[in-house]
Amino acid sequence: MRPIDWVVLIGTLVTIVAYGTWKGRHKKDLDGYLLAGRQLKWPTIALSIMATQASAITFLSTPGQAYTDGMRFVQFYLGLPIAMVILSITAVPIYHRLKIFTAYEYLETRFGVGTRTLTSLLFLIQRGLSTGITLYAPALIVSVILGWNIHVTNVVVGLLVVIYTASGGTKAVSRTQVHQLLIALGGMAVALIIAIHSLPQEVTLVEAFRVAGRMGRLNAIDFHFDPKTQYNFWSGLIGGAFLALSYFGTDQSQVQRYLTGSSVAESRLGLLINGMVKVPMQFFILFVGAMVFVFYQFVAPPLFFNTIQRAKVSTSQYAAEYEKLEAQHQTQFTEKRADVQRLLTAMRAHDDAATAIATTALREVQERETATRTAAASLINRTQPGADNSDTNYIFLTFVIDYLPAGVVGLVLAAIFCAAMSATSSGLNSLASTTVVDIFRRLGKPHATDAECVRLSKLATIAWGLFAIAFAEFANRLGSLIEAVNKLGSLFYGTILAIFLLAFYTKRVSGTAAFLGALIGEAAVVWCALATDLAWLWWNVIGCVVGVVAALIVQRFVPEQQGRGTRDEGSADGGLGRGTEPA
């Protein structure tokens, strides 16, 4: 990092934190603190929704995914636009009419306090943990680049987010997210331009595409159905739609974004714009990774991208073995570069036979190179059992640090930090809302004043920030971070979605049946996770379907009078009992 990089990085972060604190400086009631006074317009809502989902993990791990596995991860997002349309039609009008603070409040009007509390707790566990992972990503960057202690880094980054999130509430979060997302996308665009510009001069853009395609890195769509494959068209469209329905429809970190809308139309437009922009945006980020992959066909990549693990193995008893693998990797790279040149020459000459031969040779050497990388990872695992032996998260970062010019490194790092801060702030903000509204105000002190609740929301934001920092300590054992976050969510999302679907679309299912159905659905998901090879995107479908079917079956055996939930008259924001049917 050169001085100009530091200026750009620190300047951006200080400006963002100061801007967020300034934007949220006015004294607020609970509605103002948790929902920005319900006054936001669709552009802010749309960008805030996108920024909440697009964390630093998205910008760090996704290009690495494309590098190691190609662009098929984009299929994960195919169900998202469908979910946005469904939610715009169903959930948004209901939430707006009820004037709720959290999605879980709605469940009490339908199923009673037990179901509301269960879903709130599931959310708090899942979001609390995943916010920790979200925080870990940028801490990882700084610890690798600067050799800082990762524990200290986690605390510093976490505290920066807590400052403006606790002081300014939702308004500060949403307003800063607009700028954070634009900075993040700008940084990625600059990285892409430089990656393409850094290719050898004689290689055209189309040729770069062809090299990436021949080496399996532009595999955006795969219609082959296999329940054990993580990413194909069907798992993305069906499993992804269930995941997106649950994430955007029932996860408070997202629901809170569009509850800030000044009308149903503003909230709907925010969701629908997200539905239109998200898939191309993910394609773009994956494409950056594919171009970094092409770049490393002409410039030798390290055998293992995690410099810390590399240093550790080099000083261990396996040092000689690792050195041998490095030499082997270098030979394979030289061989591969020659094959790439042969492929380009054959393609330029329109010689199909020579192109086919060069492609086969290239794929064969690539397989050997992958085997060498796997052997290196296994060696690292032997050196340090339990250590992170996946370098997916470090690939893009290594490229940025090693090959981007002064100033741009600072910009890309600022982009990654901005993304981390925006997703973390949404997470903390929603965790605080649920803690105060669904737990404290509902179960602890129903007559608490707005001032008390705002004060407690600030304290809850700080407390959840500390929890996230603590959990971040464990995140380095989770492999690809973007997968880890989504896998963690998929353990709970199907079940939570089942409860909401029962609430939205059934009139006779009681709170008891919904509660038991949810427990059975969750048990089914846990069984799938522990005892089967089923790809995790399908857990969302299993949890939802089993939860709904089990509740309908249980309902046949429970008394009818439990069909409506009750709510204490004395609850602080009473009046939720009105209009609980779908629009």
Partner 1 sequence: MSSESKVNWPRLYAVVLGELALLILIFYAFTKAFA
The binding site for partner 1 (CB under 8 A) comprises 41-42, 74, 78, 81-82, 84-85, 88-89, 209-210, 212-214, 216, 218-223, 233, 263-266, 268-269, 272, 275-276, 279-280, 283
Give DSSP secondary structure letters for 383-448: HSTTS----HHHHHHHHHHHHSPTTHHHHHHHHHHHHHHHHHHHHHHHHHHIIIIIIIIIII-TT-
Q: To the nearest 5 percent, what fractions of the chain are helix, strand and coil?
A: 80, 0, 20
Least distance between partner 1 and beta carbon 306 (Å): 30
Least distance between partner 1 and beta carbon 434 (Å): 29
Q: How many residues does the chain have?
A: 583
Give DSSP secondary structure letters for 474-518: TGGGSSSHHHHHHHHHHHHHHHHHHHHHHHHH-SS--HHHHHHHH
Contact by Cβ (8 Å): 339, 358: yes
Q: What are phi and psi of 29, to 5 degrees?
A: -90, -175
Q: How many CB atoms are closer than 10 A to CB 229?
A: 14
Local structure of 226: helix, strand or coil: coil
User: Letter for the amino acid at 369?
Assistant: E
Report the C-alpha gap between 55 and 528 in whole angstroms. Answer: 28
Judged by beta carbon, residue 192 or residue 218, the one nearer partner 1 is 218
Report the C-alpha gap between 82 and 433 in whole angstroms. Answer: 28
Least distance between partner 1 and beta carbon 220 (Å): 4
Least distance between partner 1 and beta carbon 355 (Å): 12
Judged by beta carbon, residue 177 or residue 267, the one nearer partner 1 is 267
Least distance between partner 1 and beta carbon 52 (Å): 19
State CA 253 to chain mean position distance: 12
**Nearest CA among 188, 143, 130, 164 for reference residue 13:** 164
Q: What are phi and psi of 225, to 5 degrees?
A: -90, 125
Judged by beta carbon, residue 276 or residue 553, the one nearer partner 1 is 276
Judged by beta carbon, residue 323 or residue 364, the one nearer partner 1 is 364
Report the C-alpha gap between 450 and 572 in whole angstroms. Answer: 9
Q: What are phi and psi of 463, to 5 degrees?
A: -65, -45
Judged by beta carbon, residue 190 or residue 220, the one nearer partner 1 is 220
Least distance between partner 1 and beta carbon 266 (Å): 7
Judged by beta carbon, residue 147 or residue 280, the one nearer partner 1 is 280
Report the C-alpha gap between 336 and 425 in whole angstroms. Answer: 44
Least distance between partner 1 and beta carbon 288 (Å): 15
Judged by beta carbon, residue 239 or residue 563, the one nearer partner 1 is 239
Report the C-alpha gap between 180 and 16 in whole angstroms. Answer: 8
Report the C-alpha gap between 100 and 578 in whole angstroms. Answer: 11
Report the C-alpha gap between 550 and 166 in whole angstroms. Answer: 41
Least distance between partner 1 and beta carbon 273 (Å): 9
Judged by beta carbon, residue 238 or residue 265, the one nearer partner 1 is 265
Report the C-alpha gap between 464 and 352 in whole angstroms. Answer: 60
Judged by beta carbon, residue 216 or residue 446, the one nearer partner 1 is 216
Least distance between partner 1 and beta carbon 231 (Å): 12
Judged by beta carbon, residue 42 or residue 333, the one nearer partner 1 is 42
CA distances from 507 to 119, 199, 498, 501, 514 (A): 19, 61, 14, 11, 12
Judged by beta carbon, residue 113 or residue 192, the one nearer partner 1 is 192
Least distance between partner 1 and beta carbon 215 (Å): 10
Q: How many CB atoms are closer than 10 A to CB 566?
A: 13
Judged by beta carbon, residue 118 or residue 272, the one nearer partner 1 is 272
CA distances from 86 to 89, 95, 220, 272 (A): 5, 14, 25, 10
Contact by Cβ (8 Å): 415, 404: no
Judged by beta carbon, residue 255 or residue 286, the one nearer partner 1 is 286
Judged by beta carbon, residue 81 or residue 494, the one nearer partner 1 is 81
Tokens of 512: 């008891």
Least distance between partner 1 and beta carbon 555 (Å): 32
The angle that helices 3-23 and 408-433 make with each other, rounded to 10 degrees, is: 30
Least distance between partner 1 and beta carbon 233 (Å): 8
Local structure of 217: helix, strand or coil: coil
Judged by beta carbon, residue 247 or residue 515, the one nearer partner 1 is 247
Contact by Cβ (8 Å): 403, 194: yes
Least distance between partner 1 and beta carbon 429 (Å): 25
Least distance between partner 1 and beta carbon 222 (Å): 8
Least distance between partner 1 and beta carbon 270 (Å): 11
